[in-house]
Amino acid sequence: MPWVVRDAVRDINRMVGRRWQAIDPLLPDPAALPAGCGAPLVVNGDNGRMAGLGVCVHHHVPAGSLNQTWGAADRFTLVPRLAGQDIGAPADLLLAQWREHLATVGATRGPDSSASVVWPSMDITGVGALLRHGLQPLTVIAVRARPSVSPGSSGRPGPPTAPRGAHGVTIRAAGPADEDVVTDLELRLIRYDMHFGGPVWRAGTASLVREEIRGSLARPATWTWLAEYGGHPVGLLVAQPPQDSGWIAGMTSTSPAAYLQTMFVDTRERGTGIGAALVRNLHARLDAAGVAVTLLHHSQVNPLSAPFWYRMGYRPLWTSWESRPATALR
């Protein structure tokens, strides 16, 4: 890459970083652009200087991988860098170039494909362009920051305080003997989430989920909890501690970060406080350990998700805008 172009990319990243910090301090500095499946897409301003660029990343998820359950087999993701304050017009131009690029890639023509852009949730000036090009807000990465340390305290992590529970409900760590129960609850969650356009049920989904759960429950320190009512399992929470959350920790400026992977309550028990008790149990542990932020994914269109998670202290950080198949991009 010529040094003039490298300098332009560096300058754009700096401007994007300042913009992101002004919009949302929990956003990270822009990372280096990844290698794409084609040449970088470049948008010039009225003065002829580079005003933005983007890279299209093609990720093919092979059959037999559990990752195929979480979306299309062929995933095309645009990584944009747009400078300036009002980025609506540059975003339109960049998305139009991306559509032209995708039209030349054979894998986009299959039904098992998607085109997506992960966009800062608080960055509203580009939303119109995303909508005009046929993208829909599908998934949110939400964030909860550890509550501020009270004045006069040492600021050091301490033992977890007992969180408020739900009447008649017991929360306990799951172990290897709970494999069937945990697998059943996890698969029920996947089937429920399929209503909202996220997961895709595959031939190997059930067996691959069981295999992952078996390995997780065999670890000495489990991060899987069950809620029981009347001796029956009615809720599940699975989390990843900071040492296992590096794959998503770069989505925020604050560390250490944990990830809340799964939370599911039996449909007959929703609204009774079981889900909140499970989440408070996790938060008490993370706060006592000094974990700065917790991240999670939830469906944008699930009518239960956003109200629940925002009551639990989470708010949007990133939104994944998607079209399926990829050729649905306008």
Q: For residue range 215-266, what is the model confidence (pLDDT) as tens digits?
A: 999 998 889 999 999 889 999 999 999 999 999 999 999 999 999 999 999 9
For range 112-131, the mean pLDDT: 97
* Backbone phi, psi, residue 75, to 5°: -115, 125
List pLDDT tens digits, range 32-80: 889 999 889 999 887 778 889 999 999 999 999 999 999 999 999 999 9
- Residues 6 or more apart whose CB falls under 8 angstroms from that of 276 comprise 166, 308, 311, 312
Q: What is the pLDDT of residue 267?
A: 87
For range 311-315, the mean pLDDT: 97
Percentage of the chain modeled with pLDDT above 90:
81
DSSP alpha helix (H) spans, 51-168 = 88-102, 127-132
CATH domain 147-291 topology: Aminopeptidase (3.40.630)
**Token output for 45:** 């301003």
Strand 257-265, strand 293-299: pairing:
parallel
List pLDDT tens digits, range 161-196: 567 666 679 999 999 999 999 999 999 999 999 999
For range 275-293, the mean pLDDT: 96
* Burial 276-291, CB ≥16 within 10 A → b, else e: bbbbbbbbbbbbebeb
User: What three-state secondary structure class fits 2?
Assistant: coil
Same fold, 3-139+323-328 and 147-291: yes
Q: What is the pLDDT of residue 86?
A: 84
**Annotated domain spans of the chain:** 3-139+323-328, 147-291
Residue 150 has pLDDT above 50, yes or no: no
Q: Using an 8 Å Cβ cutoff, are 113 and 75 in contact? A: yes
CATH 3.40.630 for the 3-139+323-328 domain, yes or no: yes
Q: What is the pLDDT of residue 166?
A: 65
